[in-house]
Amino acid sequence: MTRAAILAACLALVAVAAAAQSVTVYQTTPDLKQALSSQPALQFSATAAPEDLPVITVDDTQRYQEIDGFGVSLTDAAAWLFAKKLTPAQTDAAFKLLFARHEGIAINFLRQPIGSSDLAVTFYSFDDLCEQTTKACTTPAGMSDPQLKHFSLAHDQEYILPLLRKALAINPGIHVMITPWSPPGWMKTSGSMLGANPETKEASGLRPEFYDALAKYFVMTIHGYQAAGVPVWAMSVQNEPLFAPPTYSGMKMTAEEQTKFLREALAPALAAAHLSPKVMVYDHNWDRPDYPETVLKDPRAAALAAGTAWHHYEGDPKVMTKNHEEFPNKDQWVTGVQRWGVAERQRAGRGGRRTDRRDTQLGAQLRALGTGDRPEPRSLCGRMRHLPRPGDHRPEQSKRTCREAGGGLLRPWSRQQVPSAWRGAHCLQRA
């Protein structure tokens, strides 16, 4: 047989093999009526495609962004529902759907509030000098704890850390990021965990004399989490530092204040403790790109910073491209949104130039179901963006499932698949 004949025979075999390959298809629709739903397999064909069909060209030599993970947040409210309102079997089933590689969607990024957030049962920190309530947590005048003698992870040890360990046992590749909505109230100008005074709306801030105490607070939190079997992969120093809410935990921190804190307090504290989490600066909206620019232009702060964390509520995602061009050695993550998505970063030297994608998201809250007794967090399905408040739309509680009421579940359950204990749960309709 001639070489030409052998070559032709080989090409024919390759064509037959390619045509015989099948493609496994899973489909998710925007309304989540189908969510990772199995579809009929497709087959490659040796025949030419019709000219009116789109052509997708895959060039695996081009490298752009790396994706660190798909993520959620196991908030205090979500963890409370899993631990207090679902049965162990229901929690196990939900965690498999969330974190398992073969039986679920393999979530591998958890942005964890340290202390109370807007999705919490009470106001709390890891060094409280006040009474935890559902309204506020204000430290009596003159009280402080700069040596953190009252530091304790007891709150998280009750149900948050056990659930984090459960998730890590299912998916050891999970990245855990920690972020405070507020430091302990005694570290702040207001003495309160609230972001602002409810009456005057005056924003709270970090008292300069407690910069070192807050840095030590982060070190003790990381050490405590690691000792509890939850390694900390990344952190930011303040959630949404330009927003000071008067109704839940928060704190205003200017770019100049964050720069000074990173440079003079956090960097030395982490170095002395031999800790090296990825430190993300800013952690707020696209509408203020000048904030991370200010921080990253400071050489000592930039030496600690791994990159910038963004939220998508305001602004244009194209600012991420400018940030990459100005700071090509720093990564970027989108860490705060209201829907499912991914945490995406730009890796220097990989040719990354575009990150103006609205589907690069992290921060959708874990979906949980329970019984909903006041004043504890009510049971939700769909996006647990906030706890129900007066005026929230609640579809009629009948035999309809949350799926039928418009709330949505983790996957398109049928009525028979939804456990009967879940069917009476309140549902919040999608925004």
What is the per-residue burial (b if ≥16 Cβ within 10 Å, else e) of 335-359?
bbbbbbbbbbbbbeeeebeebeeee
The 3 state secondary structure assigned to the chain is: CCHHHHHHHHHHHHHHHHHHCEEEEEECCCCCCCCCEEEEEEECCCCCCCCCCCCCCCCCCCCCCEEEEEEEECCHHHHHHHHHCCCHHHHHHHHHHHHCCCCCCCCCEEEEECCCCCCCCCCCCCCCCCCCCCCCCECCCCCCCCCCCCCCCHHHHHHHHHHHHHHHHHCCCCEEEEECCCCCHHHECCCECECECCCCCCECCECHHHHHHHHHHHHHHHHHHHHCCCCCCEEECCCCCCCCCCCCECCCCCHHHHHHHHHHHHHHHHHHCCCCCEEEEEEEECCCCHHHHHHHCCHHHHHHEEEEEEECCCCCCCHHHHHHHHCCCCEEEEEECCCCCEEEECCCCCCCCCCCCCCCCEEEECCCCCCCCCCCCCCCCCCCCCCCCCCCCCCCCCCCCHHHHCCCCCCCCCCCCCCHHHCCCCCCCCC
**Rounded distance, CA 114 to CA 283, Å?**
15
Q: How far is CA 187 from CA 137, 267, 392, in A?
A: 13, 19, 34
pLDDT reported for residue 338: 65
pLDDT reported for residue 133: 67
Same domain, 269 and 126: yes
**Rounded distance, CA 50 to CA 426, Å?**
49
Same domain, 122 and 37: no
Q: Are 96 and 106 in contact (CB under 8 A)?
A: no
**Within-domain flag for 60:** no
Q: Are 276 and 222 in contact (CB under 8 A)?
A: no
Considering only CA atoms, which of 405, 337, 91 is closest in space to residue 99?
Answer: 91
Same domain, 15 and 78: no
Pairing state of beta strands 175-179 and 109-113?
parallel
pLDDT reported for residue 345: 45
**Rounded distance, CA 2 to CA 15, Å?**
20
Domain with residue 220: its CATH number is 3.20.20.80
Same domain, 109 and 212: yes
**Within-domain flag for 146:** yes
**Within-domain flag for 50:** no
pLDDT reported for residue 14: 44
The residue type of 381 is C
Same domain, 113 and 258: yes
Say how far residue 215 (Cα) sits from the centre of its chain.
22
Ordered mean pLDDT values, 10 residues apiece, the chain (431 residues):
51 48 88 86 82 84 85 94 96 95 92 95 90 73 92 97 98 97 96 94 97 98 98 98 96 98 98 98 98 98 98 94 96 80 40 30 31 30 31 36 33 33 31 29
Same domain, 82 and 31: no
**Within-domain flag for 230:** yes
Same domain, 390 and 360: no
Same domain, 191 and 275: yes
Same domain, 417 and 276: no
Per the structure, the complete domain to which residue 29 belongs is given by 3-43
**Within-domain flag for 55:** no
**Within-domain flag for 322:** yes
Pairing state of beta strands 22-27 and 37-43?
antiparallel
- Give how many domains the chain has, as a whole number: 3
**Rounded distance, CA 318 to CA 85, Å?**
42
Same domain, 395 and 321: no
Task: Give the global pTM.
Answer: 0.72
Same domain, 171 and 237: yes
Q: How far apart are the first and last CA of the chain?
A: 69
**Rounded distance, CA 77 to CA 72, Å?**
13
Same domain, 38 and 141: no
**Within-domain flag for 281:** yes
**Within-domain flag for 61:** no
Q: Are 69 and 342 in contact (CB under 8 A)?
A: yes
